[in-house]
């Protein structure tokens, strides 16, 4: 979807009003005018699609305890925070980014935790490794090359979301539900893992049971 430069003659007062609204919405003048014209023409822009998905994700998160959604100075990102019951009470940060072009991937989720504790970072990395081994075991075949598109770095991980093959599952509402379900089960399993560090076998079994339940009831993305 290309962009070009066009010249428009506008009244100064109109530009001032547009700039004020753009500032409040944390967007640019050009992007706001583009959205206004698109809505008038009943045309959906990538920014409108992303906004709809983010709003639905935020509504879903409001129904679950411990999640806090924070808007970012970008139309393509939101940040979600979740508290972890562990020493020092660290906060898990989920950075959700949506791509302007929807397909074959939709966006990506980046997970991190602000900590200097090497012990905590190692526990986190162990969780990430087991989590993605679960993903590859149960849904790796849905992805190119038979592996979930993910990356693990010390204390952080990133995971791409794939556009569902079923067109009925490609609506903004369906994508938002799929993304929300993924974040919720990821967060739940991380907390299960940390709560049972003294019993690793039990933690692994609990996580796998949760993932199997998620696989049965949610859209894979």
88 three-state secondary structure: coil
CA–CA distances in Å: residue 210 to residues 100, 182, 189: 32, 11, 7
Q: What single-letter DSSP state applies at residue 164?
A: P
- Which residues are bridge partners to 1 per DSSP? none
Q: What is the pLDDT of residues 177-211, one digit of tens each?
A: 999 999 999 999 999 999 999 998 999 999 999 99
Question: Does the pLDDT at position 217 exceed 90?
Answer: yes
- Which residues are bridge partners to 157 per DSSP? 111, 152
53 and 172 in contact (C-beta within 8 Å)?
yes
Question: Does the pLDDT at position 72 exceed 80?
Answer: no
Name residues whose C-beta falls within 8 Å of residue 18's C-beta, 6 or more positions apart in sequence. 10, 29, 32, 33
Q: What is the pLDDT of residues 33-49, one digit of tens each?
A: 877 876 777 666 888 88
Name residues whose C-beta falls within 8 Å of residue 34's C-beta, 6 or more positions apart in sequence. 45, 47
Q: Which CATH number is correct for 1-43, 3.40.50, 3.30.1910, 1.10.10, 1.10.1220?
A: 1.10.1220
74 and 54 in contact (C-beta within 8 Å)?
no
User: Alpha carbon 158 to chain centroid distance?
Assistant: 10
Q: What is the pLDDT of residues 159-168, one digit of tens each?
A: 999 999 899 9
Q: Kindly report the pTM of this predicted structure.
A: 0.83
Question: Does the pLDDT at position 65 exceed 80?
Answer: no
54 φ/ψ angles, rounded to the nearest 5 degrees: -60, -40
């Amino acid at each position: 979807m290309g962009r070009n430069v066009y010249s428009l003659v506008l009244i100064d007062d109109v530009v001032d009003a547009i700039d004020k609204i753009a500032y409040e919405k944390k967007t640019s003048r050009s992007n706001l005018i583009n959205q206004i014209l698109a809505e008038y023409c009943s045309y959906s822009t990538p920014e409108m699609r992303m906004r709809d998905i983010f709003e639905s994700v935020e509504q879903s998160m409001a129904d679950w305890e411990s999640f806090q959604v924070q808007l970012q100075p970008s139309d393509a990102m939101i940040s979600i925070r979740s508290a972890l019951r562990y020493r020092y009470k660290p906060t898990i940060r989920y950075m959700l980014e949506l791509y302007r072009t929807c397909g074959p991937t939709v966006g990506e989720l980046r997970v991190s935790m602000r900590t200097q504790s090497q012990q905590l970072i190692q526990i986190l990395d162990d969780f990430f490794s087991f989590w993605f081994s679960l993903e590859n075991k149960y849904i790796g075949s849905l992805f190119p090359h038979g592996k979930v598109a993910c990356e693990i770095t010390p204390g952080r991980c990133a995971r791409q979301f794939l556009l569902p093959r079923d067109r009925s599952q490609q609506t903004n509402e369906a994508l938002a539900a799929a993304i929300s379900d993924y974040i919720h089960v990821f967060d739940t399993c991380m907390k299960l893992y940390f709560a049972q560090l003294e019993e690793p076998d039990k933690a692994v079994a609990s996580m796998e049971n949760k993932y199997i339940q998620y696989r049965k009831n949610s859209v894979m993305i």
